[in-house]
């Protein structure tokens, strides 16, 4: 491992990310030397990202509309904060700017941070406050086709990208979306990533339309059993495609830390997006099962998109019950409770008991090893089985990780 140092360049940044991934793979015990190194590196990475990709705040009017949607409020409910029905209409349509008194009242009454409300609303989410650093990464990954920052400015590239999807505003995404994200998530980057997944999904041709009810417990078990086969991730992609489901691999953008997403806006062709942020089979297959669980459980719900950054509630924040249900189904699909309770791996988690359980379930050993780590909450168990270089996932999708 390289020496930890202040991050000053893109090279330093990439080296630090590699060290973070290496330490995370070791799953150090709290208070250990490796845990301290991981915390220090995470702080250095966050500081560098904040300087290169500065925080971009949502448009104040969109923030108000989003909060109204969350709380089930009507324009008339804003009169106590803004003054009159006519003035509320002017504010929401962008014809009038918020005054300082309105900002104070709305911030106190609706809980929207003042720093969001005091901005001048441009009502143009697409080109407002996008950092050049983020746009540059999007350019490198092909979001804008052959257009580059040498020929166009950032706003032109962003507007051209969004033009493919119509006149979208953030509320169009947020209104029917379940987010499991961190407080530091860059929503613009998250929004762009989701649209990039849809952009790539458009190029995938499926032989049939998706049939309601196709994805169920038995279907998911069939998919996860492909993990035991050679080129399992590619077989899973083809299997899903055969049943009208598009699997898209797209690396996460800075300040998203995203693992995957389920996009159900088109009922004919559900889309599952995965980032392979952690290049490990247990993470890949659990995330895939989690996203398929959303298709199985929430296909007919009012929610059209599920964005999943953290697979565990590590910071004490409340998790949407739909996410907990998806976790439960994913866990049961990979390692059924009945099998776990009678397995030797439950009392003696070692290489032999893990291999026996994996063979019984017909699932890749590394995937079961990851589940055993999770069940015991001992993330240093069986690490050699999980982090074997020969079973990493990204090698199956080389074009997606050329950057």
- Same-domain pairing of 145 and 71: no
* Whole-number pLDDT of residue 311: 47
- Same-domain pairing of 221 and 112: no
In a domain, 195, yes or no: no
- Same-domain pairing of 212 and 71: no
pTM: 0.73
- Same-domain pairing of 36 and 87: no
Q: Report the C-alpha gap between 22 and 279 in whole angstroms.
A: 11
- Same-domain pairing of 212 and 338: yes
Residue 157 has, within 13 A of its CA and on its CB side, a CA count of 24
Order of strands across the sheet that contains 260-263: 177-180, 305-308, 260-263, 271-274, 246-249
In a domain, 323, yes or no: yes
Q: Of 221, 311, 244, 239, nearest to 275 (Cα)? A: 311
Q: Which domain holds residue 235?
A: 200-401
- Same-domain pairing of 206 and 70: no
- Same-domain pairing of 380 and 234: yes
Q: In 3-state terms, what secondary structure has residue 273?
A: strand
* Whole-number pLDDT of residue 55: 59
In a domain, 185, yes or no: no
Query: How would you write the pLDDT of the chain (403 residues) with one tens digit per residue?
Result: 678 888 888 888 888 887 877 777 666 777 788 878 877 887 888 778 777 766 566 678 878 887 887 788 999 999 999 999 999 988 887 778 888 888 889 988 888 888 788 776 654 445 556 778 889 999 999 999 999 988 988 888 888 888 777 644 444 444 456 666 565 677 788 889 999 999 999 999 999 999 999 999 999 999 999 999 999 999 999 999 999 999 999 999 988 888 999 998 888 999 999 999 999 999 999 999 999 999 999 998 877 888 887 544 444 445 678 889 999 999 999 999 999 999 999 999 999 999 999 999 999 999 999 999 999 888 778 988 998 889 999 999 999 998 7
- Same-domain pairing of 321 and 279: yes
In a domain, 255, yes or no: yes
In a domain, 181, yes or no: no
- Same-domain pairing of 224 and 367: yes
Q: 């560098």: which residue's tokens?
A: 48
- Same-domain pairing of 246 and 229: yes
In a domain, 190, yes or no: no
User: Domain total for the chain?
Assistant: 4
- Same-domain pairing of 91 and 135: no
In a domain, 235, yes or no: yes
* Whole-number pLDDT of residue 153: 83
In a domain, 4, yes or no: no
* Whole-number pLDDT of residue 296: 97
Query: Vertex 335, ends 331 and 336: CA angle to 5°?
Result: 90
367, 224 in Cβ contact below 8 A? yes
Chain centre to alpha carbon of residue 297: 19
Q: Report the C-alpha gap between 241 and 161 in whole angstroms.
A: 26
- Same-domain pairing of 237 and 348: yes
């Amino acid at each position: 491992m390289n020496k930890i140092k202040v991050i000053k360049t893109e090279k330093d940044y990439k080296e630090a990310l590699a060290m973070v991934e290496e330490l995370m793979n070791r799953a150090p015990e709290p208070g250990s030397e490796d845990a301290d190194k991981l915390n220090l590196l995470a702080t250095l990475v966050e500081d560098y990202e904040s300087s290169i990709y500065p925080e971009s705040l949502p448009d104040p009017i969109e923030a108000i509309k989003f909060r109204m949607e969350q709380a089930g409020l009507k324009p008339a409910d804003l009169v106590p904060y803004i003054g009159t029905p006519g003035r509320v209409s002017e504010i929401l349509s962008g014809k009038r700017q918020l005054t300082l008194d309105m900002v104070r009242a709305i911030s106190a009454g609706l809980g929207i941070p003042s720093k969001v409300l005091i901005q001048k609303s441009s009502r143009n989410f697409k080109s407002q406050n996008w950092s050049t650093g983020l746009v540059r990464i999007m350019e490198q990954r092909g979001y804008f086709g052959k257009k580059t920052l040498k020929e166009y400015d950032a706003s032109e590239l962003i507007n051209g990208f969004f033009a493919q999807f119509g006149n979208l505003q953030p509320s169009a995404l947020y209104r029917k979306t379940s987010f499991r994200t961190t407080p530091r998530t860059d929503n613009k980057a998250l929004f762009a990533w989701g649209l990039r997944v849809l952009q790539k999904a458009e190029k995938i041709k499926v032989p049939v339309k998706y049939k309601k009810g196709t994805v169920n417990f038995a279907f998911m078990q069939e998919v996860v059993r492909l993990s035991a086969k050679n080129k399992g991730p590619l077989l899973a992609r083809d299997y899903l495609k055969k049943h009208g489901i598009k699997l898209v691999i797209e690396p996460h953008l800075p300040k998203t830390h995203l693992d995957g997403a389920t996009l159900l806006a088109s009922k004919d062709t559900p889309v599952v997006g995965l980032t392979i942020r952690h290049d490990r089979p247990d993470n890949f297959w659990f995330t895939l099962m989690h996203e398929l669980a959303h298709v199985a459980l929430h296909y007919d719900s009012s929610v059209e998109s599920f964005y999943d950054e953290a697979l565990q509630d590590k910071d004490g924040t409340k998790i949407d019950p739909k996410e907990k249900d998806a976790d439960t189904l994913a866990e049961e699909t990979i390692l059924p409770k009945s099998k776990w309770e009678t397995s030797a791996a439950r009392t003696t988690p070692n290489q032999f008991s893990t291999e026996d359980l994996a063979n019984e379930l017909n699932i890749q050993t590394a995937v079961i090893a990851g589940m055993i780590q999770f069940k015991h909450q001992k993330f240093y168990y069986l690490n050699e089985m999980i982090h074997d270089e020969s079973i990493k996932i990204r090698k199956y999708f080389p074009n997606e990780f050329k950057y």
